[in-house]
Amino acid sequence: MNDTAARTTGRDRPPRTAHAFRRRLGAVLAVLPSAVALLFVMGPGAGADSTAGGDVHVAQTLGDRELTVILRRVTGVPGPLHVDVITHAGTAAGRLTLGVTPTGVSTSASAASASGTTVDTAVVTLGGRPGTFSAVLDVTRAGPWELSLGDEQRTATIPFVVPKRTTSPAETAVYMGFGGAGALVLVTVLVAVRVRRFWWTLVPAGGLVACLTVAVTGALLSSRLPPPPSQGGQVDATIDGVGDPYADAGQQIGDYSRPPATLLLRSSTDRAGEVAELRLTLSDASTGLPVDDVVVHDGALLHLLVVGPSGQLRHLHPVRTGAGVFEVPLSLPEEGHYAVSAEFARRGGGVQQLRSATGVDAVPGSGAAARTTSDDAPPQAGTGTRTVAGVDVRLTASSLVAGRAAVLTARVGETATLQPWLGMLGHLIVVGPVSPTAAAGTATQGAQVWAHSHSMGAVPDGTHDMSGMEGMSHMKGMEEHSSASSSSLDMDSSASSAFSSPDLHSMSGLTSVNGDSTADETVAAYGPDISFVYTFPATGHYRVWIQAERDNTILTVPYLLHVTGASERTS
């Protein structure tokens, strides 16, 4: 429009002297480079997209299968949702039925008309060998959704949000300001070379300055304005809220946390030798209402830790079967007490760890499978080598003094072929202090400490000064790590791009470059050393389990550690 106006105005213009033309052009050309320079300086800095979601990794213990379900990022709607189901060693072959259901509400009746109805389904046929099995489902709009995942017995539902690419108001101002400035640069040039009196040029030039001011202000503000609350993560997601999170932001309050929850545990059976169907009901500690706002945390909706009578640890991921209801089968191989603890996070922030007040008491069953005593020898106190599933695991510890940070380093196997499980290279579960001779289930039920720590590899991040530590062998670990990762099998494309940088390796094993996707279990390129830093709060014996994934098998390695008091007095 501007150009057209300028052109028609200039059409009936008589010719002018070359001198005046050159002078005006020179003045304009002096302004141009600075404007262009500003464009380049300000442009890239203003592109932070706060609502860009990444892949969602959700571990699901569906029946006797331990699965990792990955919902790949949806890049446009309507469009495909790629779902990968990763199986592990021993996962039974079979069919899973997948479905997607939009769930949100909207002020627009047409936008919400499909809510609650399953709009697409797919079947995933799991093979007998560990691998990735994929399906593609069509999602029709941005907003809250549920993915259902069913075997023959039960159906799990995983809430997720299909994001919409949105632009913050400040970014909009930047784009519009620079867009307007760009157009006005052309107008200014045209006016300058066509009009007789130079001051006419000031009119578009003034507009140009105004546009640049708006753009620069927007660029400066865009990094300072708080992002709107995360739909689904901090506040309840709605179709309208996902569509325009800035309009839905309301007053920025900062604290979106919700009350703690209570855990009710019900077991379908208490007979040893049977498989108990555990039903966990989460209710709000303030209102008693079902807690239906559990968000994915550490790669699962709910992490369940069960310690059996003779010290066997089970780390399960119950599936969501209703509002605040999670279900998982738990085999009770022996009689005695099973202590149960759940970890999860509610919308609005804050991870909770709840120990079931009752646990499960297994009485002698009629089945021949029931054992009254464990075949497993009670673990000897101390670090050392254990062999689990044919893999040698060697644990070393810097020092085990209460109140002092202990560095526990496990070498799992001899090759750098560990796979991240639940987004971490290693898991450390600590329960104690307990009597080393008492039955583990009963002792852990009453233990004061239940802790869950993670390892991101052997190489510490830069925030810790590790110079004084022994037994860490950083350099060796790094070299092995890098060489192995370049030749690792089964890398998926997103992970390989994220892990091709050697700098990244040296910093941390599992940070993605762009925040979009982290390596999944198909990347067997880490370890073999995994380190944990944990400060035991009190003296005594602790039951400790280290978990890591190797050869598509999740290894659980038990230890019994003795933590002493400080040998010297500290001020």
Partner 1 sequence: MSRPTSPSGRRSLVAAVVLSAILLTALSVRALWAPWRGTSPPVSGDTPRGAATLTGGTAHDVVTLTVSTPVTGTTAVNVRLVPRDGAAAGRSSPVVTVSAVLPTAGHAVPDFTTAPAADNRYHVAGLPLMMPGRWEFVVTVEGDGRHDRLVFPLTIPR
Q: Are strands 418-419 and 405-412 parallel, antiparallel or unpaired?
A: unpaired
Quote the least distance from Cβ 285 to Cu ion, whole Å: 23
Tokens of 359: 């646990």
> Counting contacts by CB under 8 A, is residue 21 touching partner 1?
no
DSSP 71: E
Quote the least distance from Cβ 45 to partner 1, whole Å: 16
Neighbours of 73 (CB within 10 A): 17
Which partner in Cu ion, partner 1, none is near 105 (CB below 5 to 8 A by kind)? partner 1
In angstroms, rounded to a whole number, what is the distance separating the alpha carbons of residues 321 and 400? 42
DSSP 199: G
- Of the candidates 312, 427, 307, the one whose C-alpha atom is nearest the C-alpha of residue 59 is 427
Within residues 115-134, the interface with partner 1 by CB under 8 A covers 115-118
* Cβ pair 430, 530 in contact under 8 A: no
268 dihedral zone (left: phi>0; alpha: psi -120 to 50; beta): alpha
> Is residue 74 packed enough to be buried (19+ CB in 10 Å), middle (13-18) or exposed (0-12)?
buried
**Residue of 12, 152, 375, 465 interacting with partner 1 (CB under 8 A):** 12
**Residue of 1, 18, 123, 377 interacting with partner 1 (CB under 8 A):** 1
Neighbours of 272 (CB within 10 A): 24
Which partner in partner 1, Cu ion, none is near 215 (CB below 5 to 8 A by kind)? partner 1
Which partner in partner 1, Cu ion, none is near 303 (CB below 5 to 8 A by kind)? Cu ion
* Cβ pair 520, 68 in contact under 8 A: yes
- Output the CA angle 43-44-46, nearest 5 degrees: 75
Sole window of 125-133, 285-293, 457-465, 550-558 interacting with partner 1 (rule: CB under 8 A)? 285-293
CA distances (Å), origin 134, targets 82, 126, 519: 7, 9, 17
Our CB check for partner 1 shows the closer of 293 and 327 to be 293
Within residues 288-307, the interface with partner 1 by CB under 8 A covers 289, 292-293
Sole window of 25-33, 270-278, 292-300, 352-360 interacting with Cu ion (rule: CB under 5 A)? 292-300
Total site size for partner 1, rule CB under 8 A: 80
Site string for partner 1, 169-198 (x = CB under 8 A): xx-xx--xx-xx--xx--x---x---xxx-
Quote the least distance from Cβ 516 to partner 1, whole Å: 26
In angstroms, rounded to a whole number, what is the distance separating the alpha carbons of residues 240 and 247? 9
Our CB check for partner 1 shows the closer of 202 and 391 to be 202
Sole window of 39-47, 204-212, 218-226, 295-303 interacting with Cu ion (rule: CB under 5 A)? 295-303
92, amino acid identity: A
**Residue of 47, 206, 446, 565 interacting with partner 1 (CB under 8 A):** 206
Our CB check for partner 1 shows the closer of 31 and 451 to be 31
In angstroms, rounded to a whole number, what is the distance separating the alpha carbons of residues 513 and 497? 9
Our CB check for partner 1 shows the closer of 13 and 464 to be 13
Which partner in Cu ion, partner 1, none is near 236 (CB below 5 to 8 A by kind)? partner 1
Quote the least distance from Cβ 67 to Cu ion, whole Å: 13
> Counting contacts by CB under 5 A, is residue 543 touching Cu ion?
no
User: Which residue stretches of 328-449 are H helix?
Assistant: 440-445
Our CB check for Cu ion shows the closer of 245 and 423 to be 423
> Counting contacts by CB under 8 A, is residue 350 touching partner 1?
no
Which partner in partner 1, Cu ion, none is near 2 (CB below 5 to 8 A by kind)? partner 1
> Counting contacts by CB under 5 A, is residue 303 touching Cu ion?
yes
Our CB check for partner 1 shows the closer of 38 and 203 to be 203
Within residues 51-110, the interface with Cu ion by CB under 5 A covers none
Quote the least distance from Cβ 485 to partner 1, whole Å: 43
In angstroms, rounded to a whole number, what is the distance separating the alpha carbons of residues 535 and 405? 4
> Counting contacts by CB under 8 A, is residue 6 touching partner 1?
yes
Quickly tell me which residue has 């072959």 as its tokens.
93
Tokens of 549: 């994934």
CA distances (Å), origin 180, targets 1, 188, 212: 12, 12, 8
In angstroms, rounded to a whole number, what is the distance separating the alpha carbons of residues 173 and 81? 32
* Cβ pair 394, 411 in contact under 8 A: yes
Which partner in partner 1, Cu ion, none is near 258 (CB below 5 to 8 A by kind)? partner 1
Within residues 63-102, the interface with partner 1 by CB under 8 A covers none
Neighbours of 252 (CB within 10 A): 10
Within residues 243-282, the interface with partner 1 by CB under 8 A covers 246-250, 255-259
Our CB check for partner 1 shows the closer of 17 and 463 to be 17
Within residues 221-250, the interface with partner 1 by CB under 8 A covers 221, 225, 228, 235-238, 241, 246-250
Site string for partner 1, 323-342 (x = CB under 8 A): x-------------------
Sole window of 296-304, 402-410, 429-437, 540-548 interacting with Cu ion (rule: CB under 5 A)? 296-304
Our CB check for partner 1 shows the closer of 236 and 343 to be 236
Tell me the three-class secondary structure of 292-341, residue by residue: CCEECECCECCEEEEECCCCCEEEECCEEEECCEEEEEEECCECEEEEEE
Our CB check for partner 1 shows the closer of 195 and 439 to be 195
DSSP 230: P
CA distances (Å), origin 5, targets 8, 10, 187, 191, 371: 5, 9, 9, 10, 92
Quote the least distance from Cβ 383 to Cu ion, whole Å: 24
Sole window of 119-127, 215-223, 486-494, 560-568 interacting with partner 1 (rule: CB under 8 A)? 215-223
314 dihedral zone (left: phi>0; alpha: psi -120 to 50; beta): beta
Report the interface residues with Cu ion, using CB under 5 A.
300, 303
